[in-house]
A and B are shown apart, each in its own frame.
Chain A
Amino acid sequence: MNHRWTFVARSIVLALAFSAVGCDKSQPPPPEHTQAAADAALKVDNGQTGTVQASGSSALQPLVNAAKEQYEARNKGVSVEVSAGGSKKGLADVAAGAVQIGDSDIFAPEDLKGQLVDHKVAVVGFAAMANKGAFNEKIPAISLLDLAKVFSGTVTDWKQLGGAPQPIIVINRAPGSGTRAVFGSLVLGGDKFVESQTEDNSGALVTKLKQTKGAISYLALSFADPELRVFGLKTDAGVVDPGTATITAGTYPIWSYEHMYTKGQPPPLAKQFLDYVLSPDFQEHTLPNVKGFIPVTQMKVSRDKD
């Protein structure tokens, strides 16, 4: 009997070890701070304690985490809990009162607009990105119309865009994704994506794009990568590459606000955190160092829907 029980015990330990590995959710990469910005930051400790809870967009999470670190360092006793489960979940959570702040890449839908207060904290650009290959090396840019055709499934070969013959494999984000909602609305005029392979996570999508010959998808610019082909837009006035300058000037149209919604006016602690995120200190010193984010204040154009 001894041996058998020892073996069972060993197996259980082994299984637990494996499941522990399985459960280890990797945290998103920490934002890059500059020491100068941290030093320049104001000290606003006023002895308050409590918890601020935020949930929603995974695209916005790196920025909220950056704000959380600095805010917590300055307000001992206050903790900010950030969880990511998609923009639509963030909107649902804050509307239901489950969290104080709902992070979202998209404007709240009409039925929630009445009860939610919008706080625009940043701007993020999006672009079509593809697997790199000889089949698309002669395509520096794609027009909005052609992008719509690619992602709705009418254009199915790189040849039709001016490249070499190679089938286009569209990879989508999952329907709850804010990136999908924004790209669909700005490029396709709604969720008219062809039904295809789906990744529910931007990081996994990058890996998949690198692996799959002929693949194309859409990502926030923070995920741009030298091993991916990032397409500019072909317009009548020439090629417009996605970037801070073209987005703030309004010439590159595929961008969205990053929203932090509250239900009505935020409670004191959540308001203080939001005030910090919108403060010149954070907006001018920390935010530009978090890859892919643009301060709202730099925008020369604005919009009130996606």
Chain B
Amino acid sequence: MGQSATIVDPTETVAERSQFVMGSRFGEAVVRVLLTTCGVFVVLTTVTMIGFLAHAGLRGMAMAGIGDLLTGRVWKPEADSYGGFALIVGTFTSASGALLLGAVPAVLAAVWLTEFAPPSIKVAERRVLEVASAIPSVVYGWLALVYLVPIVFSVAHWLRGADAAVTGEGLASASILLGVMVAPTVMLLSLDALSRVPRALRDASAALGASPWQTAFQVSVPYAWRGLLIAVFFGFARAAGETMAVQMVIGGARRLPKDFLFSPTTTISAQIVMDMQEARPGTLQNDVLFSMALVLLLVSVVVVLATRLLGRQRLS
């Protein structure tokens, strides 16, 4: 670690070295211009994108009626019926399920890893988590469709009876899948939060005779709680926005689920993917899909704002 920065070629003359430094000064200016351009470009893209989204989305809301869009029960774009209630419920329920099944256990796992696990496992588990958080969602979705859905189907029949009209697709599968997907990211963020707990606090706690258990839950977790909460929020936002994988296991029925856990329903993002194929630009359907996208964006914005608010309190 850190070797490459200090390697100096002993055969290099002082003149050569200073020339290199002067060259780098010119290079620095070029790089600075390049970086500024990139920075401005990113901001411009984001602002333009939100502008377009808001423009089309608000037009859709005005035409379809915001009340209908949020509380209407029938979503049938082919018949110009845009009631997004089931979609919104699906998004919030599946994301909450992911929170319960993925994000919260991930935080607890991070506590275990920081406070109780042997050091050798710490590094190995971190590497595994980094890989897991880099796996594309379509891979998660495909695996879930092939392996998880049939299992959930059996469980559903075991719970509800062999003759029940239940399926493997639905909120149960979606929540489990989303939980698995967000857990690595949430756990990595939690580990970072817990690693910022000063060692002195832990040592002091131990010196006072506290058990590792007491140190963990009465010193470390209270100290890091904002960071942990932020991690959970990020998990929720990612679960709410996830599209491809959810679309593969949610079933795609544009209605509230008949059986809360084990019958097909849909989410905002999954439905946008389903319907955008036929939405021609300039049509009401197109605008309404942007309205639903806007709703999703608002959810993320609220989460990000909440996160920032928590972060600021932490500094003061």
Beta-carbon contact of A11 and B130 below 8 Å: yes
The answer to whether B150 has its CB under 8 Å from any CB of chain A is: yes
Q: How far is the CA of A176 from the CA of B277 in the complex (A)?
A: 8
**Known interface pairs A165-B163, A166-B163, A198-B251. Does A15 touch B4 (Cβ–Cβ under 8 Å)?**
no
Cβ distance B120 to chain A, nearest Cβ, rounded Å:
16
Cβ distance B291 to chain A, nearest Cβ, rounded Å:
19
Q: How far is the CA of A62 from the CA of B119 in the complex (A)?
A: 57
In the bound complex, residues from chain A placing their C-beta under 8 Å from that of B264 are: 196-198
The answer to whether B40 has its CB under 8 Å from any CB of chain A is: no
In the bound complex, residues from chain A placing their C-beta under 8 Å from that of B163 are: 165-167
The residue from A22, A168, A175, A213 contacting B78, defined by CB atoms under 8 A apart: A175
The answer to whether A200 has its CB under 8 Å from any CB of chain B is: yes
Cβ distance B242 to chain A, nearest Cβ, rounded Å:
14
Beta-carbon contact of A18 and B136 below 8 Å: yes
Q: How far is the CA of A7 from the CA of B153 in the complex (A)?
A: 39
User: Counting chain B CB atoms within 10 Å of each CB, which of A166, A168, A191, A197 scores highest?
Assistant: A197
Q: How far is the CA of A96 from the CA of B153 in the complex (A)?
A: 44
**Chain B, Cβ-Cβ closest to A95:** B280
The residue from A18, A96, A167, A196 contacting B164, defined by CB atoms under 8 A apart: A167
The residue from B164, B255, B277, B280 contacting A85, defined by CB atoms under 8 A apart: B277
Q: How far is the CA of A169 from the CA of B2 in the complex (A)?
A: 62
Beta-carbon contact of A15 and B134 below 8 Å: yes
**Chain A, Cβ-Cβ closest to B273:** A200
**Known interface pairs A2-B1, A11-B130, A211-B150. Does A195 touch B255 (Cβ–Cβ under 8 Å)?**
yes
Beta-carbon contact of A167 and B165 below 8 Å: yes
Which residues of B in the span 40-88 have a Cβ within 8 Å of any Cβ on A? 76-79
Q: How far is the CA of A21 from the CA of B130 in the complex (A)?
A: 19
The answer to whether A88 has its CB under 8 Å from any CB of chain B is: yes
The answer to whether B293 has its CB under 8 Å from any CB of chain A is: no
In the bound complex, residues from chain A placing their C-beta under 8 Å from that of B150 are: 211
Number of interface residues of A (CB under 8 A): 38
**Known interface pairs A191-B78, A214-B165. Does A15 touch B278 (Cβ–Cβ under 8 Å)?**
no
Q: How far is the CA of A118 from the CA of B251 in the complex (A)?
A: 35
Q: How far is the CA of A85 from the CA of B255 in the complex (A)?
A: 25
The answer to whether B90 has its CB under 8 Å from any CB of chain A is: no
**Chain A, Cβ-Cβ closest to B2:** A1
In the bound complex, residues from chain A placing their C-beta under 8 Å from that of B139 are: 18, 21-22
From DSSP, what is the main secondary structure of chain A's interface residues? Answer: mixed
**Known interface pairs A196-B253, A198-B251. Does A11 touch B134 (Cβ–Cβ under 8 Å)?**
yes
The answer to whether A149 has its CB under 8 Å from any CB of chain B is: no
Beta-carbon contact of A197 and B278 below 8 Å: no
In the bound complex, residues from chain B placing their C-beta under 8 Å from that of A285 are: none
In the bound complex, residues from chain A placing their C-beta under 8 Å from that of B135 are: 15, 18
Beta-carbon contact of A92 and B278 below 8 Å: yes
The residue from A89, A213, A214 contacting B277, defined by CB atoms under 8 A apart: A89
The answer to whether B168 has its CB under 8 Å from any CB of chain A is: yes
**Chain B, Cβ-Cβ closest to A93:** B280
In the bound complex, residues from chain B placing their C-beta under 8 Å from that of A200 are: 252, 274
In the bound complex, residues from chain B placing their C-beta under 8 Å from that of A167 are: 163-165
The answer to whether A19 has its CB under 8 Å from any CB of chain B is: yes
The residue from B127, B136, B274 contacting A198, defined by CB atoms under 8 A apart: B274
Q: How far is the CA of A195 from the CA of B131 in the complex (A)?
A: 39
User: Counting chain A CB atoms within 10 Å of each CB, which of B1, B78, B127, B275 scores highest?
Assistant: B78
Q: How far is the CA of A18 from the CA of B134 in the complex (A)?
A: 9
In the bound complex, residues from chain A placing their C-beta under 8 Å from that of B169 are: 197
The residue from A7, A18, A199 contacting B130, defined by CB atoms under 8 A apart: A7
Per-position 1/0 for B1-19, Cβ under 8 A of A: 1111100000000000000
In the bound complex, residues from chain B placing their C-beta under 8 Å from that of A21 are: 139
**Known interface pairs A7-B130, A22-B139. Does A195 touch B254 (Cβ–Cβ under 8 Å)?**
yes
Cβ distance A8 to chain B, nearest Cβ, rounded Å:
9
The answer to whether B138 has its CB under 8 Å from any CB of chain A is: yes
3 cross-chain pairs, A with B, having the tightest CB-CB distances, nearest first: A198-B252, A167-B165, A197-B264
A-B contacts, 29 listed (Cβ < 8 Å): A1-B2, A2-B3, A3-B1, A7-B130, A11-B131, A15-B134, A15-B136, A18-B139, A19-B136, A22-B138, A22-B139, A86-B277, A88-B277, A89-B277, A165-B163, A175-B77, A175-B278, A191-B78, A197-B169, A197-B251, A197-B264, A198-B252, A198-B264, A200-B274, A211-B149, A211-B153, A212-B167, A213-B157, A214-B165
Query: Besides the contacts A22-B139, A96-B280, what 5 more A-B pairs have beta carbons closer than 8 Å?
Result: A1-B4, A89-B277, A165-B163, A197-B167, A197-B251
Task: List the interface of chain A (C-beta within 8 A of B).
Answer: 1-4, 7, 11, 14-15, 18-19, 21-22, 85-86, 88-89, 92, 96, 156, 165-169, 174-176, 191, 195-200, 211-214
